[in-house]
Structure 1
Amino acid sequence: MADGEVRTKLEHLNQAKKLVLSDPNFYPDILKGILPIIVASDGAIELRRWGSEFLAETFSSPQITSQTKQGLALTCLEHLLTLLNELETGILKNVIQCSSSIYPLVFRYICHNKSETAIWQQMVAVKAKILSMLDKGAEGVRLGCIKFVQRIILVQTPGASDPRLVDKSEVSLTIVPLNHPILNIHALEAEAHGLLDRLLNVFQDGKLDAPIITAILNSLPALIKGRAAISNKILNVLMSYNPLVAATKSMVFKERFVARSLEKTLRTVLNHLARASSGGPHAGKIQQHIQRLLQSKSEFSIDVPKSNKRVLPGSEIDSVKRTKYTRSDAEGEYTPTPPPPTIQVQPSNGTTYKTLYTLTGDQALSNFDVSQLPLDMATQITLATMYSVDPSALESAVATVRQRLASLVRAAATAANARPPPPPPPPPQFDDDDDDYVPAGGEDLDEPSRASADAVAYSEDSDDSYEVKDLVPATSRDKAAAMELVKMPDLSPAQIQEACEGTLDRMFETITTLDKPVKKERMGFNRLAATNWDRDGWITILSRLSTRGLSGIDAEITAKAQEDRMHYEALSGQVRQKLYMYVIGDFRTRMDAAIAWLNEEWYNDRLQELAAKGNSNKTPLEPQYAKWMAKIMDGIFPYLETTDRNIFLRFLSELPTIPPPVLANIRGLCLDPERSNLGFLAFQYLCMLKPPVRNDVLGIVEELWHNHNDVKTAARKLLVKFRPHVVGLPPKEAT
């Protein structure tokens, strides 16, 4: 279908929608006319999307009577089943919402019309299709399925048995005749209990699926208050559920944050139930569980606990003693104690590297197996020793090892001269045509070679230093010089991406194991990329790799990938994504990393602008600062709390510019009742200390003052100071 035709049909459908909104009496005629259009096999996806939204709005509209909705529901069943075959999440969500509204209407109709088997079969088919998405669909679809399941449980369980308490508009098993030929009361009730068990199972499997659990928690109060037969079962599960227990041992910040959010939602639901049944039999138990949740919350910390490193038992390292240092009061220097007498190694067939390099006389220390130490501990010991060793002691130790090596070389040469020469190899067999064959190098095969003896000859009066080439025969050196290593084949773009991803994973594993850096003096632009291999050094290197270090490599590999018609994701993009995931993983302790990275991105964007101005033929690269800052803000805003005021304001203060999407996020904070103070505090800070964005901020505050009464008082405080004329004050009265 052409785009112009689709737009024309959408205009006509919108006109029909305006007509029914102005007069609900047109709903039956309009709905029957548009159903064939929105479910046509050759129709565009835009038409089906519009139709699903219209159906959801129709059956949730309070302007349409229940009797009219029932008639419309019977007309739509077949078309709903067709729309459930769509793959788009938005269409499925609207259709499931519409089905949730339709199910009680169709159920009531079947109760009073015992011969409408075809209609009930269509409703059963719609129900089966929706229930199949409860565990496998997209997240939004699963949330809609939970609402549909709640409606099924309400309909397929008995309502109030007292005639005085029965609501005539309520649909439940109570209205089903006992001898109904289509509706089997026992089967329907069993299905409802099975679906309830599927919902309650989420509280017992230990998973912290926040959207699903929250949706189920919000759907349970209606079941508890409306269905006494299943209320005890639901309350017992809720009063044994504590999401904080599942997250106590978790080392992931997001899971701990989700657990605390779920605990708050659970308390809200229980408080609502306690108020609704203040005189009921379960009120005391609900209050007790609320107190237990509050106690768990006071003992639970949202911050990720630091892992305790294992320490080697003392018995394993007692024999490894550090060199004792004594303090000289006269000279004020550390003087190492004299080393123990060295062991004279005699040349023998049993000589090993251990005997060659051992310089201590302590038998216990020389027999210690260094391989038992962890690699990081051995590295730290080695580096600390090299920094603190006395140069004269080091030279003495090296000279001792050289003497031992020289004696071993002389002994090997003497042994080689004393042995009789090996018998000559048998002469090679040649064909008659190969009389002119000469071995490589032109040597006579019958002459014994003395290369090995010449190679190990060592003069006592010569210098101790020698090179490896002195131990290699000249002919071998000539062959080695002529030899060339085989050139490795070039990696494909896919192989480069895989290797880069593995390298980045190892680097970030190293970063996460580093301790939090101590507070130190800031060197500004004069600092080096990594003066120490701490977390800040790694973040600086990765930030500069993502901005400036990989641009040339990315351009070269991208050109190659385009030639081979292969998909290639830029290496710099991989580094940026890893940095983003690292920051979001625990943003409260990693805000310094985010600030350093985003400042590098801003600086690189400025460099690219200058380069593009200087060279008109050069295509400027896409700016990255605003893109990744907005992405980081979108990631941390759902988890910001009022207690994060200092962290958040410092983050805003150390960024060079504030893009418009970030201001929109802060506006969302202002409209959040629990975090409104944090949002207006951020706006006040930006107005006072970020003049370039002051007008944009005040425009947002002015819009809030005009359109949102809940935040009018907080908005007025800022406007009185910076735009008094908006609130009707003259400039001279501004405070």
Structure 2
Amino acid sequence: MSENSTNELDQLVKAKNLAMDNNPREMLPKVLETASTMTVIAINSNSSDIKAIRLARFFASTFVDIMNSKEISKTEKPFIASQYLETLWLTCSRIVDPIAYKYTILSLTISYPLLLDLVAKTSNDKLWTLLTRFKDKIIKNWRLNQSNKLKPEISDDLNDDSKNIGCKLATVKFLSQIVITQTVINDNSPNNSYPISITSVPNNHPVISNKPKLETEAKNCLDLLLNYLIEEPMMISSAFIGVLNCLSFIMKARSQTTIRILSALLRFNVDGKYQLDDKSAVNYKLSKRFVERCYKNFVNFGIKNQLIKNGSQSNSMNQMYSKLSKIAQTLHVIGEETKSKGILNFTASETENKINKNEKEKIISYRLKQQRKLDGTNSSSTSTSSATGTPSFTAITEDIDKKTITVQQTSQPASDISLEHLTSLQKYAFSKNSATGFTNSSPIATGDSYSAIYSLMNMQNSNQNLSNLSQDNLVKLSTEAIMRCDTTKLISALSIVASRYTDLMTNKRKREDDETEIKEEHENKKVKTESDSEDENEVQEDIDVTKPMFEPKPMDQETKINLTKRIINKIIEVKDSNIEPSLTVPTDGMNNTLNMIKLVDWKNSESWYHILIRLATRGTAANNEISNIIREQLLSFVLDDFDNKAAIMVEWMNEEWYSFKLKITNEDSYKTWSIRLLNELIPFLENKHRRIFIRLMSELPSLSSDHVSIMKPILMDPSRSSLGFQALKFLIMFRAPVKPMIKDLLDTVMQEDSSLEEQCKSLLDKYYK
């Protein structure tokens, strides 16, 4: 490195220090701009040069300082991040240096939610493409176990995992940021510290178009962190502590991840982690003690913040609270005993936990297979191994007593015929570029078999016979498909199956009635023409030819209503049950596996009201009395806790409006029930419900003069008039079609109550002249 280059770097460092001490808001961005220009030039000239590496370190660290600076406006930071994202990408992809890589990841971690929010607002396709590419590279590096080594090959030295720990911890923070940002905000989560998420991104966004994929990616990133705790065989205390700390932030920011995290934490076996070869026994004992203390603090943090709580409606949470609180108490006792004895008072031979050669070779071999699978360098062997039950990370289980790791297969190897069928099915599915010709959404089954009723594929085209698959494989295929399936698509599929059942049962009853009628007619003919054998034979032939299989008796209206009430009660009984879904595939039998996929997560996803809404608006639209029974139940539900049910009200009314527009019924159920909803709701509204009321009025799909006039009692009420006028102002500004209706309402209010004349005229003068 030349003396001139050294002087330039020194000058940059001095300029940065001067900017930090005097005027960081104006001077730091200028320093970053100069550093960015010099870094790009140096990398393009020679990325392995010391100058390029030092400039990359300086640029990335300065970027972190700016994004963390309180002097820089929050509104400026997203634009600063977008301006220098390409330089960060160049640094990450071209510079092979652990320090530069660490600061690059930290830079992206801080700016990722800001950049996602910027893309959501500006629809910058180029920025989103680069951001996605950057994110994918870092995730892939973690999967390949490169983030700590920055080299593609798998080393036979497990101690490598403890080196360059800064890169690993920075990646842990980035994965945590992805989980938080790409997970929807739960209404029960205290999200003030993490307000940016994909929740605010519209479903029809032109650039961020696949929100379910981003949510799935967030779950996968969370699994990467959880799997690291469970599956990393060596005692890397800094990494374990970093992951636990980040998991606490994730759990607090997105409470819906709590069960998933706690389930994995119970499988985190500190005693089963092996001692690094280059670490002494005392270092191993200290490392283990630090991780145990962090484990205890994590549990206490969850209990203190009511994330881990006892006496909840979830049996799973209650069990986890009991287990984790006992573990934390035990770890506290162990810590106190160690403190009283002294950390150095131990026998080295009893404390050491070195990995043996055979187990080490198994782990190295497994990691090599994982890398080949990710790199695609051995696609044929990868596909074969995955189909025949190659052990996953979750198959590496720790034996606490024997301090050994055994690699077990998660399932029995599939037979040759199973592999053949699976491969054939996979090729068939991937060969379809669209759903046209692939799916069969007909409400009439092609036959009376279970496969004809439940299959949503065109069986005559697929030529797939899964009957030869083992029960274990069938269960895994089914559970995996249902767990990954979109809720709306699942409900739609269940509706198709229900329609097929209804059609089959209707035809069966019809044939039974026809058979009975023909038999009675035959008996009458037989009595009258008993002596005429030829006529008897003809009648018998008629019976044989026209004999139907079954025919249902039509239900009367009272029976239909009673059955409807029973169905609603059954749905609510399941909703009110304390069953919680498992978040990992059980391995102790099919019953637990099937129990896992039951639609039981009612309290979080509120799946039950989706079903009732669809039943009321479409499923039973032909019978208005039954539909209204369901609607009454929905109305009681939303009014019971309307503070938290605005989204449900809007969804219900949108479905009512859409069904009416489809002309499913001639009655305008949307107008009838939206007006009734408002009439029932308005007496309970107070000024503190401003956001709920404005959201409801602004998101109702259609407003008429009847809807607007309903607001009159709020305007006339002195204690709530401000609520009404705020809602009217919002509607005037953002729903232009209702402006004339609001003007009529304001004129009427002024005539009836002169005390409101000033407030009414204020709106009229501002928006109607």
TM-score by length of 2: 0.37
- Larger gyration radius, structure 1 or structure 2: 1
The structure in which a higher percent of residues are helix is: 2
